[in-house]
Structure 1
Amino acid sequence: MKRRSLPALAAGTAAVLAVGIAAANAVPIGFGEDRSAELAKQIDPSKPKNVILIIGDGMDDSMITAARNYDLGANGRFAGLDNLAFTGAMTTHGLKAGTAPDYPIAYVSDSAPTASGWSSGKKTIDSRISQGPSEALNIAGEDYKTVLEYFKEAGKPVGNVSTAALTDATPGAAGAHINARACQGPRNMDATGANNCTPTKKSEGGKGSIAEQLVDNEIDVLIGGGYDRFAQATDAGPSVIDYATATYGYDLVRTAGELDAVTSIDDGPVLGLFAPENMTPMYQPFLATAAGSGGANTTCQASDRGTQPDLSSMTKKAIELLDNDDGFFLQTESAMIDKQEHAIDICGAIGDLVELNETVEVALEYQAENPDTLIIVTGDHAHSTQIVGGAGQGTQTATVRTADGDPMTVAYSTGVGGSNHTGAQIRVAASGPQAANVTGVIDQTDLFNTMMGRTPSTLPTDPAPTVTVTATPTQSPTPTPTPQPTSTPAPQPSSKPAVQVAAPKTVARGERAWIAVAAGDADTVKVVLIQGKNRITRTLKAAGGTFRLPALRAGSARVKVIAKGEGGTTKVKEAIRIR
């Protein structure tokens, strides 16, 4: 792709910074050149070595748009989520209990059958965890082997990360099989009705609860919430935690610091349990109301998360621990999008979606050094969050001020005092080997075959150009002159990337200012924000772009821009004072 000259681009990006967000929104959306050749270069039919599946529970296009508007503005684009090469739509319907083989269709599903769909490649019924349908909810179906289990069986390390309890439906479906998602711990197995899992108890000869099965599958990196489920006593007496550490040598970690200290899984798997149930969202709750909450000046406020790690740091650590020469599988879930949508909490849902984007950036950074890695990003089902024209246009509404400085109202109308799933198709996006299989409209069960590695196809090649020579009938052909030797010009060395950065020297505490970067002759451009021990990394386009600072505490911070190209690497550093 033709690169614009650095001075022209630098002038444009500096102007963006100078006039603030309004100018950033004035940047034309779209591309000046056809992208077909660039996109074609990213089609890779080979089987992936590593698979990173990133799930936003309840993440549909409406929720993605609301989070983007709030965090970046209407013309913004998430550096991770919106920067994957291939995008498609995905259907999420499931089945209802009934008589085989004609099970009725469930047009709106919960997280159990949807997660089971991509995990196993097969449809099932609500509340079912990687197990086939049956005539009643409390009657077990056939166990369906999952992608995680296939990788583990092949001797490759596997990981399962979530901001929910690890025994919840989405992480549970990756490595457990049970008729009811409610049977999360050993003490949850004797419920009556549809949630009865008594035949699956270990004391009855079954595989046990979801917590026990996740441990028995020896998942190498198992980190998230749900301590209270693993602390339950097993039928044999000891807790699931005691069973995990004594039987399989799991290393139990409870804080972000303890997780940071883990450097290898060579001596045994790691079990990280950072909250009793679900982990704390990025933002404090801000609930919609029937009268309409919030207004033009309402913003989301940061939560106190104590010693809990966030999703991107958990995912980064998981990748570091799983990385090896043979390949790995990792599922990581941003779970609180869905749970805060159920609670009509717009700020909680926005925060977890922003964290999902940061997690995608972590995966893309790894993929840049390991191109045989497939990244898939999607949700499990749609939700009812809708962006509307104003208060009163929904059963409950909430209004917040976006990055544009304008009010945005969201509505919840599928329940009174809560919100529910919907049956709409959702976004799926991917990058890496076989990522092109997510384009068009697919079903979530199709993801199973892509993650397992489809039989590679052969890409078409352009035929050699045909040259036709026409001789004049009455003349002899002109003899071809003997080529004369010529000197071959010496290859010219590539120039190191040129970089210009426009950054404010001083910002107010909590202010979310913009940084503009212009680059020339670069293949990759990254921005690293450093304040104390905290580091945030963003990947920009090869020509640069803009990066919005998060709310920073008082003190000093550093911005480092790293541009890499054929000619080498250029680094530019800027200091920012936060007052």
Structure 2
Amino acid sequence: MYRNKRTIATTGALACLLAVGTVAATAVIPAPAPVEPGFTNDRSATLAKQIKSAKPRNVILIIGDGMDDSIITAARNYELGADGRFKGLDALPFTGAMTTHGLKVGPGPDYQIAYVSDSAPTASGWSTGKKTVDGRLSQGPSTAAEVPGTDYETVLEKYKKAGKRVGNITTSEITDATPAAAGAHINARGCHGPTDMAACASARKSAGGKGSIAEQLVDNKIDVLMGGGKNRYNQATDAGPTALAYAQAQHKYRLVEDKAALDGITSLEDGPVLGLFAGGNMTPRYQPLVATAPPGAGSDTTKCQDADRGNQPDLSAMTDKAIKLLDNPKGFFLQAESAMIDKQEHASDICGAIGDLRELDEVVQVALKFQEKNPDTLIVVTGDHAHSTQIVGGNTDGKQTATIQTADGDPMTVAYSTSDVGSDHTGTQIRVAASGPQAANVTGVIDQTDLFRTLLGRSPSSLPGPPAAKPSISVVAAGQISKSKLARPGLPIAVAASAGRTVLVKLVQNLRTLASKRIGKNGGILTLRSGVAKVGKVTVVAKVTGAGGTATATRTIKVTR
């Protein structure tokens, strides 16, 4: 703590006393106690420094489809060991839990709760701030699945309207539910392309609607749109040309189909980017290991094997490129989805799910690296719903099991028990974590609709300042003085104070104040005089008052004849 010190020039004995007083006023901070092995120091101050109330300029939303704490733990155990920590996902300073329930179709206006939802209403929840029904994309509930609801504006659309650049990338088909919810509005998630519209007849462009998901995504002029799903864009539109030809002719999209082509894109000056790296979903990092009925697949020594991904970029490369293309003074919004966690969990493929979760962690690291130089960037990492993957005690503890050897060198058995074959969603809360401006809003238990408001930037609050320091004070004076000298020239007194606003010094005898004087907040040298003091004792009382309270120091002086 800073102290204001003065050099005091006075006579011999008093000068020594004043020096002692100055030292006494300086706080001595003891060295911290040594930390015992296995423990860490309190992190409250470090965490407090991370709290920023300003609205973010950039927002990066990273989604692990089907990512809950069970698959995070399984992936961590496998990749790093039980005591390991992911460098990205586990490094985010603010963590909370998020509920994911949706609604059921019905007469309304009060719709029944759907405690287990699919990716369409869950992704719509954070995209629009409103609940909806299974299969519905950024559109409100209604009486039946085939009856459209009211379109809800999304975070991506709001940012686009505000003049920010926007991106939407995934390892699934770009028309799949999670990426589609960011930039499309339709009553059935299966209406990917122009020839997939059986359940969405009124949404056809020829019927006056907004068209298929593929068409809507490019009509929203998303600056960077990348993933799989080329087969959907090769479908013919109602007007004749394919959705891809429509995107290129109508909106000047540049098609990118492999890693080399992606590397060659360096700016958005020549138009938005449409990356289509696979006909359907992109290839997971690892080859499948599909759980089977007990005794299950795999063994105590089974390891996941790398898959042949050909010329497909991985999600971290796509994210890095997207950030570089989107970065600009006005800011940007980017949604990046590691989609094959969910796809491979549905297939009871533990290796496929683990590989895409590892890939998600690499994406978080890319985002954190950007945030280091751009601290006005909010990073949020979460899932859309939970899944039935469970770490269990042995290979008989589930309908389907698979065993692999973790980084610890020990076997880990994972079970799937929602179906005899394959697996499905569950309704439990999931992890949400964040770093950057307004990241503290994800702590505690929130709902996906709450996340919508954080992604858009809430009205900044006033943060409390650091706790006010407690004032301290010391007083130094000669041990005795004669009555005549106390009357004139008076008693020299030195006061040293800190963390105060005012300092009052009084000369008191028998509860009667003989003299008083206010001095500077840091103390100083003063003289108090009194011609009415009696032989005996007088007391110098010095009091400092500040935001952190008050402090008092006294000195007893003998008065002689």
TM interval, short-chain normalised:
0.7 to 0.9
Match in the other structure for 1:548:
none
The letter of the residue matching 2:132 is T
* 1:218 lines up with 2:232 in the alignment: no
Match in the other structure for 1:78:
86
Deviation, structure 1 residue 155: 1.4
Match in the other structure for 2:210:
207
Match in the other structure for 2:430:
426
Q: Pick which of 464-473 and 64-73 moved more.
A: 464-473
Please state whether the residue corresponding to 2:50 is helix, strand or coil. coil
CA deviations 1:42-69 (Å, max 9, x no partner) are 0000001100000000000000000000
Distance 1:235 1:155 in 2: 31
Match in the other structure for 2:489:
none
The letter of the residue matching 2:461 is S
Task: Select 1:287's aligned residue among 286, 290, 299.
Answer: 290
- 1:120-131 correspondence to structure 2 within 5 Å: 120-131=128-139
The letter of the residue matching 2:80 is L
Match in the other structure for 2:256:
253
Match in the other structure for 2:187:
179
Please state whether the residue corresponding to 1:82 is helix, strand or coil. helix
Task: Select 1:56's aligned residue among 34, 59, 64.
Answer: 64
Distance 1:446 1:459 in 2: 21
Distance 1:235 1:170 in 2: 25
CA contact (8 A) 2:379 2:435 kept: yes
Residue correspondences, number: 456
Match in the other structure for 1:575:
none
Higher Cα Rg: structure 1 or 2? Answer: 2
Distance 1:469 1:72 in 2: 63
The letter of the residue matching 2:205 is K
- 1:442-457 correspondence to structure 2 within 5 Å: 442-457=446-461
Match in the other structure for 1:243:
246
The letter of the residue matching 1:281 is P
Match in the other structure for 2:276:
273
CA gap 1:140/1:481 in 2 versus in 1, 3 angstroms:
closer
CA deviations 1:128-156 (Å, max 9, x no partner) are 00000000000000000000000111111
Match in the other structure for 1:89:
97
Task: Select 1:166's aligned residue among 151, 154, 174.
Answer: 174
* 1:301 lines up with 2:305 in the alignment: yes
Distance 1:116 1:36 in 2: 35
- 1:453-468 correspondence to structure 2 within 5 Å: 453-461=457-465, 462-463=467-468, 465-466=470-471, 467=500
- 1:245-394 correspondence to structure 2 within 5 Å: 245-291=248-294, 292-394=296-398
CA deviations 1:380-425 (Å, max 9, x no partner) are 0000000000101000000000000000000000001110000000
The letter of the residue matching 1:124 is T
Distance 1:384 1:458 in 2: 42
Distance 1:476 1:198 in 2: 94
CA gap 1:402/1:101 in 2 versus in 1, 3 angstroms:
same
Distance 1:322 1:145 in 2: 21
Please state whether the residue corresponding to 1:405 is helix, strand or coil. coil
Please state whether the residue corresponding to 1:143 is helix, strand or coil. coil
- 1:518-529 correspondence to structure 2 within 5 Å: none
Distance 2:188 2:40 in 1: 52
Q: Pick which of 457-466 and 287-296 moved more.
A: 457-466
Distance 1:359 1:28 in 2: 32
CA contact (8 A) 2:504 2:516 kept: no
Q: How well do the aligned residues superpose, as a CA RMSD in angstroms?
A: 2.0
Please state whether the residue corresponding to 2:90 is helix, strand or coil. coil
The letter of the residue matching 2:141 is P
Please state whether the residue corresponding to 2:97 is helix, strand or coil. strand
Match in the other structure for 1:473:
508
Match in the other structure for 1:151:
159
Deviation, structure 1 residue 335: 0.2
Please state whether the residue corresponding to 1:187 is helix, strand or coil. coil
CA deviations 1:17-38 (Å, max 9, x no partner) are xxxxxxxxxx965x52110000
The letter of the residue matching 1:132 is G
CA deviations 1:511-545 (Å, max 9, x no partner) are xxxxxxxxxxxxxxxxxxxxxxxxxxxxxxxxxxx
Q: Name stretches of at least 5 consecutive residues in structure 2 with no aligned partner.
A: 1-28, 472-499, 527-561
Deviation, structure 1 residue 294: 1.0
Distance 2:55 2:290 in 1: 45
Please state whether the residue corresponding to 1:289 is helix, strand or coil. coil
Deviation, structure 1 residue 463: 3.7
The letter of the residue matching 1:403 is A
Match in the other structure for 1:507:
none
Please report the TM-score for the alignment, with normalisation by the length of structure 2.
Answer: 0.79
Distance 2:184 2:328 in 1: 25
Deviation, structure 1 residue 460: 1.2
Please state whether the residue corresponding to 1:103 is helix, strand or coil. coil
Match in the other structure for 1:403:
407
CA deviations 1:455-510 (Å, max 9, x no partner) are 00001123464557674512656996559xxxxxxxxxxxxxxxxxxxxxxxxxxx
CA contact (8 A) 2:145 2:188 kept: yes
Match in the other structure for 1:504:
none
Distance 1:224 1:261 in 2: 17
Deviation, structure 1 residue 101: 1.4
Match in the other structure for 2:45:
37
The letter of the residue matching 1:38 is T
Q: Name stretches of at least 5 consecutive residues in structure 1 with no aligned partner.
A: 10-26, 191-195, 484-579
Task: Select 1:413's aligned residue among 413, 417, 421.
Answer: 417
Please state whether the residue corresponding to 2:202 is helix, strand or coil. helix
Task: Select 2:140's aligned residue among 132, 135, 139.
Answer: 132
Deviation, structure 1 residue 293: 1.2
Distance 1:465 1:169 in 2: 57
CA contact (8 A) 2:119 2:385 kept: yes
CA gap 1:204/1:402 in 2 versus in 1, 3 angstroms:
same
CA deviations 1:422-449 (Å, max 9, x no partner) are 0000000000000000000000111110
Please state whether the residue corresponding to 1:366 is helix, strand or coil. helix
